[in-house]
Amino acid sequence: MFHAYDRRQSFVVALDNDAAGERGWSKAWDDTVDWAGFRLSSECPKHKDWNDDLVYVAGKPPRITSSLRL
């Protein structure tokens, strides 16, 4: 993130909507709070992750496959 800040570039990270994603967001916020002119914004998936959101928008149930052969 610091390299993006130093160069005035955008930095995008996709985090899941779970405990690990919340920890990542908190760490990013804590690490950048003192960076003048640096702005963080958040857009969270509505479901577990971005893939689940896309599946929901497409209106298709997730495809479950198994490589287990009986």
Q: Token match 């052969």: residue?
A: 69
pTM check: above 0.85: no
For residues 38-66, average pLDDT: 77
3-state class of 18 per DSSP? Answer: coil
Query: Residue 24 half-sphere exposure, CB side, CA atoms within 13 Å?
Result: 13
Residue 20, pLDDT score: 87
Residue 29, pLDDT score: 83
Whether the pLDDT of residue 70 is over 60: the answer is no
Where are the strands (E) in 17-64, listed by range? none
Tens-digit pLDDT profile for residues 9-50: 666 777 887 888 889 888 888 887 787 777 777 777 788 788
